[in-house]
A and B are shown apart, each in its own frame.
Chain A
Amino acid sequence: DAKTTQPTSMDCAEGRAANLPCNHSTISGNEYVYWYRQIHSQGPQYIIHGLKNNETNEMASLIITEDRKSSTLILPHATLRDTAVYYCIVKGYGGGGNKLTFGTGTQLKVEL
């Protein structure tokens, strides 16, 4: 599975869009980009995933560059409850023993 690089921390004002970047320059053609978040002391929560096309659901949007070497998770109107560690994971379906490899992620702090 491809390695990912994320900023250690980011701040965002409440109500504004939070844009979280992820670099995955070694991604393979069959590998998906997954985003999870972990609010303090809770279990990780699935947010969204994509392969090539941009994706949107009720929680967020995922923008993947045309060359697929990077992506951005967008929380359109961040709230205090979005303060969490956000993990970008790149994984081929069924590969790597089916495990998800969580790195250290990006600590997003949403402030008033």
Chain B
Amino acid sequence: NAGVTQTPKFQVLKTGQSMTLQCAQDMNHNSMYWYRQDPGMGLRLIYYSASEGTTDKGEVPNGYNVSRLNKREFSLRLESAAPSQTSVYFCASRRGHTTDTQYFGPGTRLTVL
């Protein structure tokens, strides 16, 4: 039981390049989330998926797109990376039905030059 896994762990992009961050969970959770964390700050929600086939915007969705590929996988895409998107990205999944407990992956550290 690996929990929540993310790939890649590190990535450096040039401004304007695109990339997809991958996230998978093996806990059979319905809900999945993408957060970003900038240095010295708390986490901010980018997008979430309450269930397979649905996605919704969070606090900071601009510049990102998401795909809930199936119940296990939730990807985050940067179409045209900008230096302001330099951050650590965390994926999480939620056990749900009676609790809001979320379980987080190890993060992807992204630098946009």
Known A-B contacts A43-B106, A102-B43; the reply to A91 vs B58 at CB < 8 A is: no
B64: Cβ under 8 A from any A Cβ? no
A41 near B100 with CB under 8 A, answer: no
Contacting pair A98 B100 (CB below 8 A): yes
Q: Is A76 an interface residue (CB 8 A)?
A: no
Question: Looking across the interface, which residue of chain A has its beta carbon closest to that of B90?
Answer: A43
Q: Chain B: residues with CB nearer than 8 A to chain A?
A: 4, 31, 33, 41-43, 45, 48, 50, 56, 58-59, 88, 90, 92, 94, 98-107
Residues of the B chain whose Cβ atoms lie less than 8 Å from the Cβ of A105: 42
Contact A41 B31 (CB under 8 A): no
The range of chain A's interface size is 20 to 34
Q: Is A100 an interface residue (CB 8 A)?
A: yes
- Closest Cβ of chain B to A94, distance in Å, is 7
A32-B99, A44-B90 known, 18 other contacts, Cβ within 8 Å: A42-B106, A42-B107, A43-B4, A43-B90, A43-B105, A44-B43, A44-B104, A45-B104, A46-B101, A46-B102, A94-B100, A98-B33, A98-B48, A98-B50, A99-B33, A99-B45, A100-B100, A102-B43
